[in-house]
């Protein structure tokens, strides 16, 4: 059974809370794509990516230090939207983690 995506969303949202709201969507998209690339790196080389972690969104979000600011709902919404858009794109292309395979 796949581990809870909520932990990934919360870690990502915590990282987003450190940047101005105008930059959050781009950072969320970048973190997801870097986590995806780290996942492929991990599968190929059998070890975590040196800068982006083991392929999980949580590992990617925690690779950069961030303040201990409280979680804001706006950051969580941006992170959830970024994951949904990434998975919808995968569904449209017919590969990888798609929206329906992991969220329903």
Tens digits of residue pLDDT in 39-80: 999 999 999 999 999 999 999 998 877 666 667 889 999 999
Q: How many CB atoms lie within 10 A of CB 52?
A: 22
Per-residue model confidence (pLDDT) at position 20: 92
The Cα 23–Cα 18 span in angstroms is 10
Model confidence, pTM: 0.81
The Cα 64–Cα 90 span in angstroms is 26
Tens digits of residue pLDDT in 14-31: 999 989 999 999 999 999
**pLDDT tops 70 at residue 81:** yes
Q: Which of 56, 55, 61 is nearest to 76 (CA)?
A: 61
Give residue limits of the domains in the chain.
5-103
- What is the CB-side half-sphere exposure of residue 71 using CA atoms within 13 A? 12
């Amino acid at each position: 059974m796949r581990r809870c995506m909520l932990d990934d969303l919360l870690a990502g949202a915590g990282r987003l809370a450190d940047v101005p709201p105008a930059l959050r969507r781009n950072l969320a998209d970048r973190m997801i794509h870097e986590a995806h690339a780290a996942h492929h790196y991990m599968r190929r080389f059998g070890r975590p990516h040196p800068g982006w972690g083991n392929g999980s969104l949580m590992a990617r979000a925690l690779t950069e230090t961030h303040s201990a600011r409280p979680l804001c709902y706006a950051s969580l919404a941006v992170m959830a939207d970024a994951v949904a858009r990434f998975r919808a794109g995968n569904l449209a292309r017919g590969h990888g983690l798609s929206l329906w395979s992991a969220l329903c």
